[in-house]
Structure 1
Amino acid sequence: METAVLERLEQRTYDYIVFLLLSIKDVPRAWAEAHRTGLDDDGLWTQLVDAYQQSNPAAVIPVLQRLVESDLQVADVRNYKSAGRRLVQLRGLATDTGQTDLVAALISDIRYRHRNRPRLLQELDRSGC
């Protein structure tokens, strides 16, 4: 039964990943399938990162970096706050995996590239980044 459902859902990437992640709670498979199918939904990627970081924190770092960059594509306070939260999460994961230099460089680069966005810089300061 499950195989038939998965075969049908696989045609709809978002629903397929949601089913794997939330219904059958197969986080590693949902993570792998999201990569394989080219999932393009940042909200679902956020859920995947939150679920997968316990088992493989190093693997979620590139995805979190991409999500931060995605947040910063549109100048909006909500996006800045989201980017700040993600950077805090990223910093914690980087500390756990010995990649602190990577995150420090990312934050420095973001601050430089977006130096003309005072509200973003204020949010980064507020979040400790």
Structure 2
Amino acid sequence: MSDDITFSGTFHHGEGEEPEGWVDGAPTSSTDQYCAFCATAHVGWVHPLDPAKIAYRAWGKGYTLPTFWALCERCEQLDQDRNDEAIVALMTVTNGADDVNEDIRKPLAVFRDADQGARRLEDSTDRDDFQ
């Protein structure tokens, strides 16, 4: 990878104490979190990501995912079902995309590879605003 790396999102790398309310590199609360797939603020799940697996290349440049992705109930179910076509459609509408493969599919594949498993957020609710 070149030195030309783009970072986005929330990160917690390195040794030392985690921020208050974080466990294993990810928050335990939904406060200030948005769904990585559809951008709703009603998230119920967090997926800590392996820091060794979050770098990738797109558009000829290096990128790095955040250290976790939060998901809402609907998108967590899509993730559990591995319904990538529905996820790609949501992310395309939410984030826009010049090229679906570079802007959506690559980061989704990196997320899948780096995902260390879903954990329910402590203050989540069972509601799904999209039903």
Structure 1 length-normalised TM: 0.27
Greater RCO, 1 or 2 (C-alpha within 8 Å, sep 6+): 2
Determine which structure has the larger helix proportion and give its number: 1
Higher strand fraction (1 or 2)? 2
Return the TM-score normalized by structure 2.
0.26
